[in-house]
Structure 1
């Protein structure tokens, strides 16, 4: 039944099932009524067409055909037999006609009951559709909206009120988390910035000897790594919260801006950047999208080959989605190790950063780059996948729903 309805274009929804239930219940009740009427009508016809014979010799004596003590004349008996056959035939024709007409009416009324059931079920399920639409908007945008269903205090309104209470608690929880991230961003970055400034000032001292300069350089590199780790963790936390407000942004424009910023880094590492940006608008947070693209390109520059390396970045529109593709040369990456690349603090055990370790001004990270990419992609309703490139390197594809 389900496959038949889907082939006919009817979705297998609660509304469809309720309509079929109404129609089926009406059909069963109609058939039961027809059977009862059929049996009762048969008994009534037998009583109505019983032949009562009158004896000519005894006009005051009457009795049924074949009744004890009553013997009608032979000609009357022959006539009664013919009448009995006609009566039985008329009885059968009457019952058959009643049965055919009743079944036709029940079939028509069953279809009518299904249509009425479809309309009634749609009206009854309208509050559920409103609840579903509001829940989708809340999930895609923000937690500030409420269902606020009006109507009688029935089971559906109770469900809507319960969901509103749940959304209220979630909203308070996310607000608290956002405040924590903002406070942590300030409290963690400030001492690291002060430390970096003090180290840089100490390195500017002309009286510092070589050992002190070497120590200061090492401490500065460690501090920069801690800054990047802190920034990555905060970005990861912000991405997993879902941005409160999304705006229409041009993905190719953001990618071009990031490529311009990282071109000097790629040139120092001896990596050639190739771009091809098509038009593609997505609904998203520009800051998070910048971090996603920046992490992808930085990884592609650092995990590369030492000579004749290149990175290709392009955006395309594929149907209703916008796709960002970052492809690079590099060491061979086993297919079975690719899923672990998107886990926090995970790096390939057999791969070293061949480019950028000495020439590129990219601080060694903590293994959060692709984790942030996946988190930001999921926040925007998209997805990310990576595959080994033939000859070494990776091809990373990030898909976003088009605006």
Structure 2
């Protein structure tokens, strides 16, 4: 936005200091003047010494001295005000320089203002925290973009290879080619839809409605019951009503992702998944526990990152696109909730979602 040039803040503060001191000095001298007019007798003179001044003599002597005092006060206030304003505004110059560097794309620097806590120190600390958060988000987006590009390039490269083979081999079975192309295309569509869902939840472009997590848990388990039976996994759902406010579609997607993840990444046989819901301390919660291999806390901490599938997940069927828990985390954050992952002592994973039961 184009603006007309104006006075600097330092000059404005200096003029404010000058104006305040000049008004105070003028009022003080005016008080002395009124005192002389009111309390000094207007006679031939007063006092016991050889010099008996009249009121007129005092006023004549006071006037030039008052003018000199005002002149000295003016010079002193201009110089002192300029110095004091500069010292007061020096932290703002550091913040301005940091803002310009951030606008130019540099997010790694920090102000790190020293001194005691005051308003400017709080502003600098808040700006440093904002830069740190922006730097982390930009780094995460860059990693996400790189991973997404890699994941999208894989089905496209496979499709190109299949087409090249079919073009060079006229006797190739077209039915097999169509089936393989269909599978690759379905995976690309699944990945694209997952990316769009992530973008939607990050923007929080949804309407909040009354939702019961217990009903969503029952719906998700019914939908995935056939997959659980196919893989020999027992599904158990229990708990009480867990009302909250949010998007029914997104929260159902979150619950389905958690249950699907628990079924797919389970024991090869005789696995189990436990889905429980309830309320505690004014928050609705959903817990999905699954049996499986023993997981380390370090590995569990990386599972919510996009395209992180953990051990022995890439080559398994129904492996997904590596965005299941990333989507869950994004949906939970969009609903002002918390997501907790922890390895089970017996093996497997425990995932708990806590959502507010009223609008945040």
Q: Normalising by the residue count of structure 2, what TM-score does the alignment of the two structures yield?
A: 0.50
> Residue in 2 aligned with 1:365?
320
CA distance in 1, matches of 2:267, 2:200: 33
Shift of 1:297: 0.9
SS at match of 1:289: helix
**Shift in alpha-carbon separation, 1:262–1:353, aligned structure 2, 3 A:** farther
Cα distance in structure 2, aligned partners of 1:304 and 1:353? 14
1:351 corresponding residue in structure 2: 312
Partner of 1:40: none
Match of 1:314 among 257, 276, 280: 276
- Aligned: 1:388 with 2:322: no
Unmatched 5+ stretches in structure 1: 1-187, 196-208
User: d(CA) in 2 for partners of 1:210 and 1:296?
Assistant: 41
Task: Tell me the matched-pair count.
Answer: 193
Would you say 1:252 and 2:214 are equivalent positions?
yes
TM-score (structure 1 length as normaliser)? 0.45
Tell me the CA shift for residue 216 of structure 1.
Answer: 2.1
In structure 1, the partner of 2:95 is none
How far does residue 366 in structure 1 lie from its aligned partner after superposition? 1.8
Give the deviation of 1:210 after TM superposition.
8.4
Could you tell me how far apart the structure 1 residues matched to 2:209 and 2:280 are? 20
> In the superposition, relative to structure 1, how do residues 311 and 210 fare at CA in structure 2: closer, same or farther (>3 Å)?
farther
In the alignment, the residues of structure 2 paired with residue 215 and residue 243 of structure 1 have an alpha-carbon distance, to the nearest angstrom, of 40
Give, in whole Å, the separation in 1 of the partners of 2:172 and 2:273.
38
Distance in 1, matches of 2:308 and 2:280, equals: 31
* Preserved CA contact (<8 Å) 2:217 2:237: no
Q: SS at 1:275's partner residue?
A: strand
Q: Given that residues 302 and 353 in structure 1 are in contact (C-alpha distance below 8 angstroms), is that contact kept between their aligned partners in structure 2?
A: no
Structure 2: which 5+ runs fail to align?
1-151, 160-170
State the alpha-carbon separation in 2 of the partners of residues 265 and 211 from structure 1. Answer: 30
Partner Cα distance (1:245, 1:283) in 2: 9
CA distance in 2, matches of 1:308, 1:353: 22
Residue 329 of structure 2 aligns to a residue whose secondary structure is helix
Summarize the alignment of residues 28-47 of structure 1 with structure 2, pairs less than 5 Å apart: none
Asked if the contact 1:243–1:285 (Cα under 8 Å) also holds between the matched residues in 2, the reply is: no
SS at match of 1:387: strand
- 1:22-61 aligned at under 5 Å gives the runs none
Q: 3-state DSSP class of the match of 1:266?
A: helix
- State the SS of the aligned residue for 2:241: coil
Contact 2:245 2:357 in 1 (8 A): yes
Q: Partners in 2 of 1:218 and 1:234 — Cα distance?
A: 25
Aligned to 1:217: 179
1:254–1:210 distance in 2 versus 1, CA, 3 Å: farther
Shift of 1:353: 6.8
Which residue does the alignment assign to 2:168? none
Quick one: distance in 2 between partners of 1:312 and 1:216? 39
Cα–Cα, structure 1 residues 389 and 210, in superposed 2: closer, same or farther, change >3 Å? farther
Aligned to 1:233: 195
State yes or no: 1:290 paired with 2:252: yes
- Cα distance in 2 for residues equivalent to 1:352 and 1:285: 30
CA distance in 1 between partners of 2:341 and 2:238 (Å)? 19
Contact 2:336-2:356 at 8 Å conserved across structures = yes
In our comparison, the structure showing a higher alpha carbon Rg is 1
**DSSP 3-state at the match of 2:336:** coil
Q: Deviations over 1:115-135 (max 9, x none)?
A: xxxxxxxxxxxxxxxxxxxxx
In structure 2, relative to structure 1, the CA distance for the partners of 1:214 and 1:336 (3 Å cut) is: same
CA gap 1:382/1:240 in 2 versus in 1, 3 angstroms: same
1:325 to 264, 287, 296: 287
CA positional deviation for 1:391: 2.4
**What residue in structure 1 maps to residue 329 of structure 2?**
374
Residue equivalent to 1:305: 267
Contact kept? 1:304, 1:353, Cα under 8 Å = no
Match of 2:100 in 1: none
